Amino acid sequence: MGTSQKRPARSFPLIPLATVLVAGLLVAAAILITPPGQSTPGGTNLANAAMQVTDLPLKQLSPQAFADVERDLDATETPEPTTPVHAGKPTTVVVKRGDSLSAIFMRLGIYSNLAQLLKPGEDHRALERIYPGQKLVFTLSGTRLDRLELVQTPYRSLVYSRNNDSFVAETLHRQLDTILQYAGGHIDSSLYLAGHRAGMSDTLIQDLVHIFRWDIDFALDLRVGDSFSILYEKHLLDGEEVEDGEIAAAEFVNKGITYRAYRYTDESGRTDYYTLEGKSLHRTFLRTPVKIARISSYFNPRRRHPILNVIRAHRGVDYAAPTGTPIQATGAGRVIYRGTKGQYGKMIVLRHGNIYSTLYAHMSRYARGTGVGRMVKQGQTIGYVGSTGLSTGPHLHYEFRVNGVHRNPLKVKLPQTKSLPKAEMDRFLATIHAPARQLDAYALNRLALQAL
Ligand SMILES: [Zn+2]
């Protein structure tokens, strides 16, 4: 009990006059607002007030008084800092959960610098947003802060340096070296296991999946023996690996078909993955699934149903067209459902990559080559307009879903695709020349190993 008590006498005589005056006012205020009947042992209360004023009211002091206080405090023994500090030598502190800058200053035994640091402005705002795990590097002279480095990334810091009574902030960039690293493997149980075995992080594996998501259905298409190769950026700082960068080139062999992708930033500054022919791997959608048609009903979450006469969300768009009008797949994808389903009648659902799906209902009949599991091309005829299911007349009911959620097909922002313009092909081929040759070399190597 005795050891955990505050030691009122210790810091009291060392508080300079101005501070004591403020402390006195605070104590007076505390006494005034203390409810009657509640005992307040004077010494403890005074000490608490004194502890507060060393931190808080300093902001209001004149620069000269500030300097005086600081000099006085420099001369005192600080109350047991919990982090060992060596004057002049940088001390690194890792921010803990629930930590604040003032708590860290307290632990280090730094006094009175906080107000100078926390000035309004962009540079200073970063100090209010410290997060657990972040590194702060302090350089002190006694209890005076000379320099504070806020480590934002392994290669970028915000540095606050003392300039008399204030601090100057600057961003410090460290030069990273980037190398291209190879990783590759083959699948015998899962892509993740194979990727990890090849030394790839989860992020890199996800990046790889993302690149080929329009061509390969990673949930259904992967087979034992499929293989992959990637060339990815590795960022080094003084020869040490600090983080992975982007995939520069990738190859995926799925069911015997080789897909390749090359990252390229075009002349307008847009980065995408392209095939060797300069076609973006990012596919798009046709806006309408029927060439000549009239919209007979719009997407409407609160529509009165024309037959049922109840409020029922209309989660698609209806295109009125004569029976037998061809229906086109709006995007390249895989048939994941084909059959008759209640009010929808005969319908087909396509999945496009991992995110998008489209639904086509009330068909009179299906086109050939649309069995479940089949891949269809963009614009391919998948069926014909009809009036099956709950329908007032021949029309196509078309739905567009993003991550399983119905979106208005007429308004949803569709992914844009493009091929590189001819004028840019030379630049593109020059950019991808080296990674393409490297992928070739690794592919040859793998074939040679398989032949053994
Ligand atoms: Zn409809």
In a domain, 186, yes or no: yes
Domain-located, residue 280: no
Together in a domain, 266 and 307 = no
Q: What is the pLDDT of residue 15?
A: 38
In-domain check, residue 80: no
Give residue 16 CA to ligand 1 midpoint distance, Å: 81
Domain assignment present for residue 17? The answer is yes
Q: Residue 304's pLDDT is what?
A: 73
Q: What total number of domains does the chain contain?
A: 4
Instruction: Assess whether 66 and 104 both reside in one domain.
Output: no
pTM for this model (two decimals):
0.54
Asked if the structure places residue 421 within a domain, the reply is no
Per-residue pLDDT of the chain (452 residues; tens, 9 = 90+): 333 443 333 333 333 434 434 443 333 333 333 333 333 333 333 333 233 323 323 333 344 444 443 443 333 334 444 555 566 678 899 999 988 888 888 888 887 667 667 666 666 677 778 889 999 999 988 778 888 898 888 788 889 888 887 788 888 888 888 999 999 999 999 999 999 999 999 999 989 998 987 778 776 778 999 999 999 999 998 888 888 999 999 999 998 999 999 999 998 888 899 999 998 887 778 878 987 778 888 888 777 777 777 777 889 999 999 999 999 999 988 999 999 999 999 999 999 988 899 999 999 999 999 999 998 988 899 999 999 998 889 999 999 999 989 999 888 887 766 789 999 999 999 999 999 999 999 888 877 877 77
Both 346 and 402 in one domain: the answer is yes
State the distance from the centre of ligand 1 to the C-alpha of 167, rounded, in angstroms: 65
How far, in Å, is the centroid of ligand 1 from the Cα of 338? 18
On whether residue 231 sits in a domain, the answer given is yes
Distances, alpha carbon 223 to alpha carbons 206, 396, 452, in Å: 18, 36, 21
The answer on 118 and 105 residing in a single domain is yes
User: Of the residues 156, 173, 190, which one is the last residue of a structural domain?
Assistant: 173
Residue 283 domain-assigned?
A: no
Residues 270 and 305 in one domain: no
Dist. CA 400 → ligand 1 center (Å): 12
Query: From the CA of 391, how far away is ligand 1's center (Å)?
Result: 8
**82-94 pLDDT, tens digit each:** 555 566 678 899 9
> What CATH number corresponds to the domain at position 383?
2.70.70.10
Calculate how far, in angstroms, residue 272's C-alpha sits from the geometric centre of ligand 1: 36
Ligand 1 center from residue 312 Cα (angstroms): 11
The verdict on 270 and 202 lying in the same domain is yes
Residue 167 exposed, middle or buried by CB count within 10 Å (0-12, 13-18, 19+): buried
Distance 336 CA to ligand 1 centre (A): 20
Residues 153 and 220 in one domain: no
Please report the pLDDT score of residue 88 as a whole number. 66
What three-state secondary structure class fits 380?
coil
Query: How many Å lie between the centroid of ligand 1 and the Cα of residue 355?
Result: 22
Name the one residue in this structure whose structure tokens are 């500054």. 269
Instruction: Give the residue numbers spanning the domain of 133.
Output: 91-173
Examine the domain organization and report whether 167 and 194 are in the same domain.
no
Q: Are residues 152 and 190 in the same domain?
A: no
* Span between the terminal Cα atoms of the chain, in Å: 77
Question: How much distance in Å is there from the Cα of 315 to the middle of ligand 1?
Answer: 7
Torsions phi, psi for 256 (to 5 deg): 85, -5
CA–centroid distance, residue 329 to ligand 1 (Å):
17
CA 344–ligand 1 middle distance (angstroms): 8
Q: What is the four-CA torsion angle of 340, 345, 347, 349, rounded to 10 degrees?
A: -90
DSSP helix/strand/coil, 218:
coil
Among candidate residues 324, 414, 430, the one with its CA nearest the CA of residue 378: 414
Ligand 1 centroid – CA 412 distance (Å): 17
336 and 298 fall within a common domain: yes
Ligand 1 center from residue 283 Cα (angstroms)? 26
Span from the CA of 317 to the centroid of ligand 1 (angstroms):
6
Q: Are residues 54 and 151 in the same domain?
A: no
Instruction: Report the separation in Å between the CA atom of 385 and the middle of ligand 1, taken as the mean of its atom positions.
Output: 12
What CATH number does the domain containing 229 carry? 3.10.450.350
Q: For residue 383, how far is its CA from the centre of ligand 1 (angstroms)?
A: 16
CA–centroid distance, residue 326 to ligand 1 (Å): 17
Which of 219, 242, 274 is where one domain is finished?
A: 274
Residue 159: Cβ within 10 Å count: 18
Sign of CA dihedral 26, 28, 33, 34: positive
Between the CA of 308 and the centroid of ligand 1 the distance, in Å, is 13
C-alpha of residue 318 to centroid of ligand 1, in Å:
5
Domain's final residue, options 220, 245, 274: 274
* Tokens linked to 385: 């307009």
Q: What's the one-letter identity of residue 340?
A: T
Token digits of residue 448? 């040679």
Residue 381 burial by Cβ neighbours in a 10 Å radius (0-12, 13-18, 19+): middle
User: Rounded to the nearest whole angstrom, what is the distance from the C-alpha of residue 136 to the centroid of ligand 1?
Assistant: 59
Instruction: Give residues whose Cβ lies within 5 Å of ion ligand 1.
Output: 316, 318, 397
Chain centroid to Cα 366, Å, comes to 42
Q: What is the pLDDT of residues 88-127, one digit of tens each?
A: 678 899 999 988 888 888 888 887 667 667 666 666 677 7
* Distance (Å) from CA 354 to ligand 1 centroid: 25
Q: Is 16 exposed, middle or buried (0-12, 13-18, 19+ CB in 10 A)?
A: middle
Cα 398 to averaged position of ligand 1 atoms, centre (Å):
7
Same domain, 330 and 233: no
Specify the pLDDT at position 86: 60
User: How close is the Cα of 347 to the center of ligand 1, in Å?
Assistant: 12
| Cα-to-centroid distance, 293 and ligand 1 (Å) | 14
Is 83 contained in some domain? no
